[in-house]
Structure 1
Amino acid sequence: MPASDGQSASGGPTSFDPPAASDAVEPTTTEAGSTSEASTSATGATAPDQPVCGDDVAEGLEECDLGKANADNGACTLECKLATCGDGLVWEGVEQCDMGGGNSDEYGGCRPDTCHWAARCGDGILDADHELCDRGELNGTGITEDEFAPCDLACGFFGRPFFITSQMFTGALGGVSGADLKCRTAAAKAGLPNATSYRAWISDDFQSPATRFEQWDLAVPLILVGGVVVADDLLDLVDNGPHTGIARTETGQAVAQEFVWTNTSAFGEIFNVTDHCDGWLSASPAQEARQGLNSVAVEQGPDWDSWRDERWWTSSITQECDRLAHLYCIDDGFVLEQER
């Protein structure tokens, strides 16, 4: 049976009664008689409107509101906060960077007072404590405008280091492989890159730089420690000779008019199949081998012309194997940036 008025189906009173007309909540109206948009509580009290970020009206806790122009790279952020240095957002056209709490005046940092870059790689200003070179936007392009090597993206020189060893040796080098090892030891002690990949510019009776170097055709400049370009690449070295003397050791020390064990022709090939200090194992005065002259005192005049034209750098004089001479060493493990 349906429940009667005031009765539940079980015969008891109903669980609630409809409110009396006098208890109903009437909507508030404006002076024009329209219903207010203010929210109404259960007790009939009204709550004020909350500000809306993005409505083009700055009110309440909003610091700003540019409506649709709000942006995290603009003057007013998407949270209706004024852009400030240190908020971790980059204000386009005003700030260069913003690392928030990580802003710092240190090298590579973002200055906390201006949100402009501190000294860094790529600013075109050499910072000797952190950089070998810095050509700004030219970094990593392979372009150079002077006698120094191009800069890579890490502000190091872009090129294959080429040095004369600071140490001198007799012709008993331990073979060609022993000469390579001496180059690698020198490079490692000097902290040069790819230290385990250096090769000596030297030949015996069956191998030479032209056959031993794995990167013979690599189009990367040969550079002295310090960045001066010796040749555009190995092919330029044998075709045209060095641009300058090979006059820097692995540590950057300048040396001139020093002899170097090579037994290597101007073309990177074997100079003599018999005179090579018995395969670079002998220091006997009865044995001999060809040497190069690393540089001349002045890079102009007749001596300089002969040094370049006659390729004295690699083939200058034949000496007994008990004499002391240096070695030429070239990085043969260079890795192009796009291959790293």
Structure 2
Amino acid sequence: MARRTYCTGLLFLSLGTACTDDPLVSTPASDSQDMSGGPTSFDPPPTATTGDEPTTSEPGTTSGPSTTEASTTSEAPVCGDDIAEGAEECDFGKANADDGGCTIECKLATCGDGLVWKGVEQCDMGSANSNDYGGCRPDTCHWAARCGDGILDPDHETCDRGELNGTGVTDDELAPCDLSCGFYGRLLFVTAAKFAGNLGGVSGADLKCRAAASQAGLTNANAYRAWISDDFQSPATRFEQWELAVPLILPGGLVVADDLLDLVDNGPHTGISRTETGDVVHQELVWTNTSAFGEIFSVTDHCDAWLSASDALEARQGLNALAVEDGPDWDIWRDERWWTSYLNLRCHEVAHLYCIDDGFVLAEER
């Protein structure tokens, strides 16, 4: 029986052949194809063409978009590449900085941009720049008059020592300056007003001090106490800040003592010669009944606990200051503590009061 042998795609009927006896693995031809040599399922189908369109790509012609043309889309400027281009005003590369001449947004540093150009500008508050006290000048971005510039501005400051502000250090006889350009210390003043001995008790004397401080616009006005004693209480027993290590100062900044303990131990450095309004007074008597150590001077002579203005009663008084703080009289005034214990006066007479801030708040507590 003859068998079919497949060889190079041709059909032979032969009993002897060099082709393999095994049929090729392929998909049989369809029944519609001619077995005498038509295409088989493994022959590639002819390429379909339509009309006059070319069947192969020829130079210069394609059937779709060209892949040889280069894309020419432009790139946006990059701030920080050290090249100023496009909308960039500058570009210093890695040197761009908001405290430098070219900002991190590649904008030129200018006074009014709200950024402080290091080494060129002292300040920059942007649209808030002004020539007002404490402001930043809009034309130069340098500070206007302000606390800390070392120049006293009487409309806004009582002192200004520049870098010494807030250090507790002073370079003259006046008190140190605090960070708000006020004198650092507890105010001590002698009242401008005089009173008879019926003060309304020790508490009434305190109220008179507070009224004077309030009318003068002093800080801590409601915390002032009078330097006065009756028969059972004295400054040493009723002052809440007896041991506070803060200078005692007069209005105007003159230092009276390093603190209350220095005042009673060594006496005042100067006369207590300023009223709550800063006026200067000398040789004035002051109701006290208080010893040099801040204690009760007499248990009987205190105008009936400061409730009487009788001419039959009397109380101890101090002498506030001398006009000349030099010579023998000055030495006696200091050594004998005449400021608080000088003589007795009848209670119907009038005299001043010493008032001390007993509500001082330390800067670190504010």
TM-score of the superposed pair, with normalisation by structure 1: 0.88
Deviations 1:96-146 (A, max 9, x none): 101111111111011111111011001111011110100111111111111
Deviations 1:175-225 (A, max 9, x none): 000000000000000000001000000000000000010000000001101
Residue 241 in structure 1 maps to residue 271 in structure 2: no
Query: Which residue does 2:243 correspond to in 1?
Result: 217
Go from structure 1 to structure 2 and tell me whether the alpha carbon gap of 1:27 and 1:73 turns closer, same or farther (over 3 Å shift). farther
Query: Which residue does 2:48 correspond to in 1?
Result: none
Query: Which residue does 1:257 correspond to in 2?
Result: 283
2:223 pairs with 177, 190, 197, which one?
Answer: 197
Query: Which residue does 1:312 correspond to in 2?
Result: 338
| Aligned counterparts of 2:355 and 2:264: Cα–Cα separation in 1 | 15
Residue 301 in structure 1 maps to residue 301 in structure 2: no
Letter of the aligned partner of 2:259 in structure 1? D
| Aligned counterparts of 1:303 and 1:105: Cα–Cα separation in 2 | 52
Query: Which residue does 1:148 correspond to in 2?
Result: 174
| Aligned counterparts of 2:116 and 2:67: Cα–Cα separation in 1 | 51
| Aligned counterparts of 1:209 and 1:147: Cα–Cα separation in 2 | 26
Go from structure 1 to structure 2 and tell me whether the alpha carbon gap of 1:272 and 1:55 turns closer, same or farther (over 3 Å shift). same
The structure with the larger Rg is 2
Instruction: List, as ranges, runs of 4+ consecutive aligned residues in structure 1 with deviation greater than 6 Å.
Output: none
What displacement does 1:26 show?
2.3
What displacement does 1:147 show?
0.9
Query: Which residue does 1:325 correspond to in 2?
Result: 351
Go from structure 1 to structure 2 and tell me whether the alpha carbon gap of 1:297 and 1:59 turns closer, same or farther (over 3 Å shift). same
What displacement does 1:21 show?
4.9
Query: Which residue does 1:279 correspond to in 2?
Result: 305
Query: Which residue does 2:137 correspond to in 1?
Result: 111
Deviations 1:221-262 (A, max 9, x none): 011011111111000000110011100000001100000000
Residue 62 in structure 1 maps to residue 103 in structure 2: no
| Aligned counterparts of 1:21 and 1:327: Cα–Cα separation in 2 | 112
Letter of the aligned partner of 1:135 in structure 2? R
| Aligned counterparts of 1:21 and 1:306: Cα–Cα separation in 2 | 121
**Superposed, which structure 2 residues align to 1:115-154 within 5 Å?**
115-154=141-180
Residue 187 in structure 1 maps to residue 213 in structure 2: yes
Query: Which residue does 2:29 correspond to in 1?
Result: none
Letter of the aligned partner of 1:330 in structure 2? I
Query: Which residue does 1:85 correspond to in 2?
Result: 111
| Aligned counterparts of 2:339 and 2:66: Cα–Cα separation in 1 | 104
Letter of the aligned partner of 1:23 in structure 2? G
Query: Which residue does 1:23 correspond to in 2?
Result: 64
Query: Which residue does 1:5 correspond to in 2?
Result: none
TM-score of the superposed pair, with normalisation by structure 2: 0.82
Go from structure 1 to structure 2 and tell me whether the alpha carbon gap of 1:98 and 1:25 turns closer, same or farther (over 3 Å shift). farther
What displacement does 1:47 show?
2.8
| Aligned counterparts of 1:297 and 1:89: Cα–Cα separation in 2 | 55
Query: Which residue does 2:296 correspond to in 1?
Result: 270
| Aligned counterparts of 1:22 and 1:168: Cα–Cα separation in 2 | 115
What displacement does 1:25 show?
4.3
Deviations 1:31-77 (A, max 9, x none): xxxxxxxxx5xxxxx33221111001111111111101100110110
Query: Which residue does 1:169 correspond to in 2?
Result: 195
Give the root-mean-square deviation of aligned CA atoms: 1.1
| Aligned counterparts of 2:232 and 2:62: Cα–Cα separation in 1 | 115
Amino-acid identity (%): 76
| Aligned counterparts of 1:28 and 1:214: Cα–Cα separation in 2 | 92
Letter of the aligned partner of 2:63 in structure 1? S
What displacement does 1:310 show?
0.3
Number of residue pairs matched?
A: 306
Which consecutive unaligned segments of at least 5 residues does structure 2 have? 1-60
| Aligned counterparts of 1:207 and 1:330: Cα–Cα separation in 2 | 16
Query: Which residue does 1:33 correspond to in 2?
Result: none
